[in-house]
Structure 1
Amino acid sequence: MKIVDARVVLTSPGRNFVTLRVETDEGVTGLGDATLNGRELAVVGYLRDHVVPLLLGTDPHRIEDTWQSLYRGAYWRRGPVTMAAIAAVDVALWDIKAKVAGLPLYQLLGGASRERVRTYGHASGRDLPELFDSIRARLAEGYPAIRVQTGVPGLERVYGVHHLSAGHGVTPDGARPVVEDWDTGAYLRSLPGVFDAVRQEFGPELVLLHDAHHRLTPIQAARLGKDLEPYDLFWLEDCTPAENQDGLRLVRRHTTTPLAIGEVFNTVFDYQTLVGEQLIDYVRSAVTHFGGVSPLRKLFDFAAQHQIKSAIHGPEDISPVGMAAAIHLDLAIHNFGIQEYAGHTALTHEVFPHAYTFTDGYLHPGEAPGLGIELDEELASAHPYEPAYLPINRLQDGTIHDW
């Protein structure tokens, strides 16, 4: 079997998605997700101009060899653009291999370690009544765990709050990202009271999570983790920019609130200190941004040696292709923790018909051979790419801050 064609499909059924379609001389095709939110065209160019020509004529079954060739052969290693491109190839080849075997991908990864995959959903509100309504809506959808984000007094646009966040888009002239604002002091003062109110309203058993989104220094993160201890969070996510891995030592010394890190990481090298010293409890990387199924499985095996669990990143800008790959991994690995599932628009589901299901707050990849996902290219072409960025963040004096 040989690869005879590989092409990139760029579509925007509500969000921009980059998909690699790999075809073999025996008519078996595979799909991979290469979406990099706000930098989609950079990955498109990397794939079309540099990766696809290297794939033609190669054996699609040599997944590990292909991965190593693309990673080591470029000389310039790592980085989100490179790793998203490699991820698309890796996932597409796993899709092909599993289809040839006539099995769902999770069976090639060792078979199921559980019957279903637990998820968490997103709830947010500008104030407590709105937040409570959002939590009730997620509970009605069956989610067994809820990520809680809320407005901060004095701030007009805040990450994670649907009505306050710029989310995904550009300024009216289409040239620049929308700006959100931030005040760390106001956030640290208000958030413990929010969780106290949520616990009083919904009780002690509801599984709660929170995302600080890289905005705190290590000492601020330590204070927040300690302040939130009475509310028994499942985790505090991205409490401080994790490039400063030494900073997590300080956080860990001062709080027992579990920590989740890694959605912006691209390789296992980003995790060496954090995992080796057990400074975190959950690894958050996505199949799409970490180089695919192959390296993410290796990361989970590394983490398992230190009693650290998986928590694959699952926002709206991971396409259903990337989500399907994540669910197969979730079902197979032993040290599964939880799966983020933000869902997709109805139109996105039409562009990417899939076998995976979401029922009563749990996912299952289905039993279709391969990933169990297809791409309707005709419908995809009817929704072309639209320039869009993630927001940027500024303090109240105008200083650029972590978003």
Structure 2
Amino acid sequence: MATIDRVEVLVTSPGRNFVTLRITTSDGVTGLGDATLNGRELAVASYLRDHVAPLLAGRDPARVEDTWQYLYKGAYWRRGPVTMTAIAAVDVALWDIKGKVAGLPVYQLLGGRSRDGVLVYCHASGVDVAALVDDVAAYREKGFKAIRAQAAVPGVSGTYGIRKGAYYEPAATALPEEQLWSTEAYLDFAPAYLAKVREKFGFGLHLLHDVHHRLTPIEAARFGKSVEELRLFWMEDPTPAENQEAFRLIRQHTTTPIATGEVLNSIWDVKQLITEQLIDYVRTTTVHAGGITHLRRIFDLAALYQVRTGSHGASDLSPVTVAAAVAVDISQPNFGIQEHMGHTIETYEVFRGTPQVTDGLLHPSEEPGLGIEYDDEVAARFPYQPRYLPVARNLDGSVHDW
């Protein structure tokens, strides 16, 4: 019987920092798992290297469920982003190994296809409304059927989601950039520019918008009501989700669909949101919610309450997560949509075999496992760089949710 022989924690920064776990069995089969937690990468790397790796040596790699329970229940301090990201890396790597041993892509081990392709949405943005409209048009030309739209609020440097170059990367400074924010200015401006996008492109386009936890529940209710006629696919993260009860107030005042969950790490963090149907899309992802094993539990619970999936897929998740996400998405009956931002050319040189978008759809690899290969030689050219996500401050100087 093969056992886990070697566990390596690999850190590289081909345009942004990624942490990758590589597990090798005694008969030479390798599996990859993403362990990236944006702005806290080395915390997860240390957790894996110092606490998890010693526990895996000699274990049966085929016992994926047992290993998940061992790492979760076996640790007194449970949940939280660092722990769940570390567990996710192990879980995804073991699924990758299982697929390679079986000679099947991971999605086949999850039950095979429930659909022909995975609908994705991209990120359009602009420093003003005209630039945003041009960016939406460019993505439409590339074949995207669903587009998230964000425009810079005039006079507000801390507007979320505005791309500065070819790729959006907010964690770009050695210390946190402090940005100014005005909720009042945003609430006056955002509905108007979303209306311009809808006016230009009509209702044949799925239009999404990310509030990024910036509003109180009643402010989010006001925003949702103000854009109802625009028929958004969803408004994302309208308010911080620590207080799940807060979404009830939003729900009472607007029919605009609600999506949340990218910063939530377990089924318990989204239980009330799902079972009380306070959201329409749950956005948990493999890398931050315990891997394929735990994510499927969340999604199966969501299916019982007619909540669909909409997993986080920003560029701070490595191509390993892209491959794992597509494997889950293609097989999940209540799939809704998948976020997809893409990566730098250098990232694709490190992670070979990353699924690509064709006509607005992602397709899983047909290679055994996840179909991703990690190039150590290329990765060595991109050492770790300390980077932090920004911090938002209100106009009076107090800290606001970023």
- TM-score of the two chains, using structure 2 as the length reference: 0.98
Query: How big is each residue's C-alpha offset from its partner over 1:269-303, in whole Å with a ceiling of 9 and x where there is no partner?
Result: 01111001000000001110001000001111000
How far did 1:98 drift?
0.7
Q: Residue 319 of structure 2 contacts residue 354 of structure 2 at CA under 8 Å; is this kept in 1?
A: no
How far did 1:153 drift?
2.0
How far did 1:357 drift?
2.9
**Corresponding residue number in structure 2 for 1:308:** 307
How far did 1:314 drift?
0.3
Q: Residue 149 of structure 1 contacts residue 210 of structure 1 at CA under 8 Å; is this kept in 2?
A: yes
Amino acid of the structure 1 residue aligned with 2:13: S
SS at match of 1:113: coil
Query: How big is each residue's C-alpha offset from its partner over 1:322-357, in whole Å with a ceiling of 9 and x where there is no partner?
Result: 110000001011000000000001110010001523
How far did 1:162 drift?
1.5
Runs of 4+ aligned residues of structure 1 deviating over 2 Å after TM superposition are 163-166
Question: Matches of 2:306 and 2:363 in 1, distance apart?
Answer: 24
Q: 1:169 aligns with which of 168, 172, 177?
A: 172
Query: How big is each residue's C-alpha offset from its partner over 1:28-85, in whole Å with a ceiling of 9 and x where there is no partner?
Result: 1100000000000000100000000000000000001100110111110001000000
**Corresponding residue number in structure 2 for 1:76:** 77
**Corresponding residue number in structure 2 for 1:129:** 130
The alpha-carbon distance between structure 1 residues 308 and 109, as it changes in their structure 2 partners (threshold 3 A), is same
Question: Matches of 1:263 and 1:112 in 2, distance apart?
Answer: 24
**Corresponding residue number in structure 1 for 2:332:** 333
SS at match of 1:114: coil
Query: How big is each residue's C-alpha offset from its partner over 1:73-128, in whole Å with a ceiling of 9 and x where there is no partner?
Result: 11100010000000000000000001100000000000111111110000011111
Question: Matches of 2:253 and 2:102 in 1, distance apart?
Answer: 50
Query: How big is each residue's C-alpha offset from its partner over 1:106-163, in whole Å with a ceiling of 9 and x where there is no partner?
Result: 0000011111111000001111110011101111221110001111122123110114
**Corresponding residue number in structure 2 for 1:11:** 12
**Match status 1:247 vs 2:246:** yes
Q: Residue 166 of structure 1 contacts residue 179 of structure 1 at CA under 8 Å; is this kept in 2?
A: no
Q: Residue 324 of structure 1 contacts residue 372 of structure 1 at CA under 8 Å; is this kept in 2?
A: yes
**Match status 1:105 vs 2:78:** no
**Corresponding residue number in structure 2 for 1:40:** 41
**Corresponding residue number in structure 2 for 1:346:** 345
Query: What is the count of residue pairs matched by the alignment?
Result: 399
How far did 1:220 drift?
0.3
Query: How big is each residue's C-alpha offset from its partner over 1:165-204, in whole Å with a ceiling of 9 and x where there is no partner?
Result: 881222xxx3x21112110011001111111111111112
Question: Matches of 1:355 and 1:226 in 2, distance apart?
Answer: 39
Structure 2 residue ranges without an equivalent (≥5): none
Question: Matches of 1:50 and 1:105 in 2, distance apart?
Answer: 27
Q: Residue 166 of structure 1 contacts residue 180 of structure 1 at CA under 8 Å; is this kept in 2?
A: no
Query: How big is each residue's C-alpha offset from its partner over 1:203-241, in whole Å with a ceiling of 9 and x where there is no partner?
Result: 122110000000100000000000010100000000000
Aligned residues: percent identity? 58
SS at match of 2:374: coil
**Match status 1:118 vs 2:119:** yes
Amino acid of the structure 2 residue aligned with 1:189: D
Question: Matches of 2:134 and 2:367 in 1, distance apart?
Answer: 37
Question: Matches of 2:194 and 2:143 in 1, distance apart?
Answer: 21
**Corresponding residue number in structure 1 for 2:288:** 289
**Corresponding residue number in structure 1 for 2:223:** 224
**Match status 1:385 vs 2:388:** no
Question: Matches of 1:200 and 1:263 in 2, distance apart?
Answer: 30
SS at match of 1:9: strand
SS at match of 1:204: helix
Question: Matches of 1:284 and 1:181 in 2, distance apart?
Answer: 27
Question: Matches of 1:309 and 1:80 in 2, distance apart?
Answer: 23
Question: Matches of 1:322 and 1:199 in 2, distance apart?
Answer: 32
**Corresponding residue number in structure 2 for 1:89:** 90
**Corresponding residue number in structure 1 for 2:234:** 235
Question: Matches of 1:4 and 1:292 in 2, distance apart?
Answer: 21
Cα RMSD (Å) of the superposition? 1.1
Question: Matches of 2:11 and 2:78 in 1, distance apart?
Answer: 24
Question: Matches of 2:380 and 2:344 in 1, distance apart?
Answer: 17
**Corresponding residue number in structure 1 for 2:31:** 30
